[in-house]
Chains A and B, each alone.
Chain A
Amino acid sequence: NAGVTQTPKFQVLKTGQSMTLQCAQDMNHEYMSWYRQDPGMGLRLIHYSVGAGITDQGEVPNGYNVSRSTTEDFPLRLLSAAPSQTSVYFCAASARIGSYNEQFFGPGTRLTVL
């Protein structure tokens, strides 16, 4: 049981390039989400999903796309990378929607956009 895994661990992009950050979980959790964390800051919610085929925007969705074709995977796509997207990205999953919903976080992807 690996929990939540993220790939890659590190990535450097040039402005304008696109890429996909991968997130997978093996806990059969319905809820998954993506956050970004800038230096010295808290986490900001980018997109989230309450189940396969259902996604919605968080606080800072611009410049990012997501899809949820399976329960296990929730990839985050950067359409045209910008230096403002330099950040650490965390994916999380939780078992239940509602009153009891501990989130399990992945180890993060550190992205630098030049």
Chain B
Amino acid sequence: SQQGEEDPQALSIQEGENATMNCSYKTSINNLQWYRQNSGRGLVHLILIRSNEREKHSGRLRVTLDTSKKSSSLLITASRAADTASYFCAPTTSGTYKYIFGTGTRLKVLA
């Protein structure tokens, strides 16, 4: 099992701006997932990128993966106040049953 480390810890932007957050990990992976947590709620799966993919899009979300640098980034374009949440990455290795989450990036989008 391994833990992703999100960076920055906190991010504050204006509505309409783009938000970028990063994730680093230590060992090789099969895929990497991003989750969102609204205040007081459970995590919600946003997007999964496989180790043989470099970029993936889903609506206003764009995820990149650089396996040589063992890092991933999540870009939220044209942010909205409703995007205010904590974002977590989960790097996953085949045969691993433990999901270890980091402390996340707390995003605040100001209206």
> Complex: how many Å from CA A90 to CA B40?
11
- Contact bitstring B41-66, A, C-beta under 8 A = 1, else 0: 11111001010000000000000000
Quick one: given A42-B103, A43-B101, are A102 and B45 in contact (CB under 8 Å)?
yes
Closest to B47 in A: A102
Quick one: given A98-B30, A99-B92, are A48 and B97 in contact (CB under 8 Å)?
yes
Q: Number of contacts between A and B (CB, 8 Å)?
A: 61
Closest to B5 in A: A42
Contact A100 B43 (CB under 8 A): no
Q: Which residues of A contact B94 (CB under 8 A)?
A: 98-99
- Cβ of B33 under 8 Å from chain A: yes
> Complex: how many Å from CA A102 to CA B98?
13
User: Interface residue count for A (Cβ, 8 Å)?
Assistant: 28
> Complex: how many Å from CA A56 to CA B96?
12
The smallest C-beta distance from A43 to any residue of chain B, in angstroms, reads 4
Contact A42 B45 (CB under 8 A): no
Chain A CB within 10 Å, residue with most, of B41, B97, B98: B97
- Cβ of A103 under 8 Å from chain B: yes
Contact A99 B31 (CB under 8 A): yes
- Cβ of B81 under 8 Å from chain A: no
Q: Which residues of B contact A99 (CB under 8 A)?
A: 30-31, 50, 92, 94
> Complex: how many Å from CA A81 to CA B55?
46
Closest to B86 in A: A42
Contact B100 A45 (CB under 8 A): yes
Q: Which of B78-111 contact A (CB under 8 A)?
A: 88, 90, 92, 94-95, 97-104
Q: Which 5 A-B pairs have the closest CB atoms?
A: A105-B42, A42-B103, A99-B30, A43-B101, A102-B45
Interface residues of B (CB under 8 A from A): 30-31, 33, 35, 40-45, 48, 50, 88, 90, 92, 94-95, 97-104
Give 17 pairs: A residue, B residue, CB < 8 Å, sorted on A: A33-B99, A35-B101, A42-B88, A42-B104, A43-B43, A48-B97, A50-B97, A59-B100, A88-B40, A92-B43, A97-B97, A98-B94, A99-B92, A100-B31, A102-B48, A103-B43, A103-B45
